[in-house]
Amino acid sequence: MAIHDTVLERFLRYAAIDTQSSEESSMYPSTAKQLDLLRLLADELKQLGLPEVTLDGYGYVMATLPANLPENLPGRQSVPVIGFIAHVDTSPSVSGANVKPQVLEYQGGDIVLPGDSSVIITESENPELMGNRGKTIITSDGTTLLGADDKAGIAIIMTAVQELVNTPSLFHGDMRIGFTPDEEVGAGTRYFDIEKFGAQFAYTVDGDVAGELNKETFSADSAVITVQGRNIHPGKAKGIMVNSIRAIADIIARMPKHIAPETTEGYEPYIHPHYLQGEEEKSTLKILLRDFRTAGLAELRKRLEDIIAEVQPLHPKVRIEMEIIESYRNMREGVEKDPRVLDYLWEAAKRAGLEPKWVPIRGGTDGSRLTATGLPTPNIFTGGKNFHSKTEWLSLSAMECSVSTLLHLVQVWVEKSRL
């Protein structure tokens, strides 16, 4: 029965299900295979005895774990509804099919993955491995990603729910559980019904190193540059062909290399060309714009406009157009409006035996958009590293610490809300 599973058993079961999302799809969810895991999660929540388990037409799974506070407990009515959220999809960047998790006791050194010996998890690039010597870690076999982002978060939430169901002495208020599709393609909350979810505060479980808590993300836009040329048989092209690829190449070559993901860290912004499709007639370039200052996005846009203005005269016959699409905004202002959502998380992590620290997310979460629409939703660690790659790995002890943090968190909300 699922009710007796450990966090590792749950993760391994979820990781075996291919849930890769797609940026090219017009469906929602973007891939039907995400529903395989979403249906399983709905069934497992029902097995755990939770009422109000729903799987709606958009693929959102929601459920309630009712409060177990004694009727005569003073202040019980003041305990708010808390939500926990994770996403089921894995990144389109690397295959999520036929994942073969490798569970090993890490003894130090580099890890050569058995499915492809050219894929190596190195200690030099992964200093967090040092803290896991003698402990259990999970990797892929090197031919796929692992899926810790965010199946580790799902396993953590489900295990915490299991513990609360099995241990009535752990008091908690009403809890809402939510599992979403399509987070990796920026659409995880597109149809998420906050009113139906019914939480006053929520937490995504979608971070990485144990003890790292997240209250701020990038503000993000996407830019799409389209270059229109003219094609003709290359044997008859003189004076007629207008090759859009040459213009798009000149645009890419002028993008500042010191403002790129591979050259920045911490709070530094970046411009990141991440998708290119082209032929002589038409080329399309997709670019990520990221800055912790929302106002900084306008500066990044201006850089692109200046590059286009420089390239256009070099290719006078092409037509260059740019569209800016808003993605998400830094959650910090929203989550700081009520300090309890952060203060209680910090206290819970300390009670779990950790030394917590606030770390900015150089990315976004479902919590970014949920916070912007009125549901404060900071982020909690899972213990995963190297997301979106074949070198992704996951710490079992960190997952267990995350479960403990969630269990302490619901109790802190009960204690503090009754004061």
The tens-digit pLDDT sequence of the chain (419 residues) is 345 689 999 999 999 999 999 989 999 999 999 999 999 999 999 999 999 999 999 999 999 999 999 988 887 889 999 999 999 999 999 999 999 999 999 999 999 999 999 999 999 999 999 999 999 999 999 999 999 999 999 999 999 999 999 999 999 999 999 999 999 998 999 999 999 999 999 999 999 999 999 999 999 999 999 999 999 999 999 999 999 999 999 999 999 999 999 999 999 999 999 999 999 999 999 999 999 999 999 999 999 999 999 999 999 999 999 999 998 899 998 999 999 999 999 999 999 999 999 999 998 889 999 999 999 999 999 999 999 999 999 999 999 999 999 999 999 999 998 76
Q: What pTM, to 2 d.p., does this model score?
A: 0.90
Q: What is the pLDDT of residue 121?
A: 98
Q: What is the pLDDT of residue 5?
A: 86
Q: What are the chain's domains?
A: 2-217+330-417 (3.40.630.10), 219-328 (3.30.70.360)
Q: What is the pLDDT of residue 376?
A: 97
Q: What is the pLDDT of residue 1?
A: 39
Q: What is the pLDDT of residue 75?
A: 78
Q: What is the pLDDT of residue 333?
A: 87
Instruction: Check if the beta carbon of residue 244 is closer than 8 Å to that of residue 280.
Output: yes
Q: Give the contacts of 320 (CB within 8 A, at least 6 positions apart).
A: 225, 226, 227, 228, 247, 251, 308, 311, 312
Q: What is the pLDDT of residue 419?
A: 61
Q: What is the pLDDT of residue 363?
A: 86
Helix 7-15 with 148-166: angle, nearest 10 deg: 140
CA atoms of 377 and 382, how far apart (whole Å):
16
Q: What is the pLDDT of residue 4?
A: 65
> Catalytic residue numbers?
89, 183
CA separation, residue 44 to residues 14, 151, 191, 373 (Å): 12, 15, 23, 29
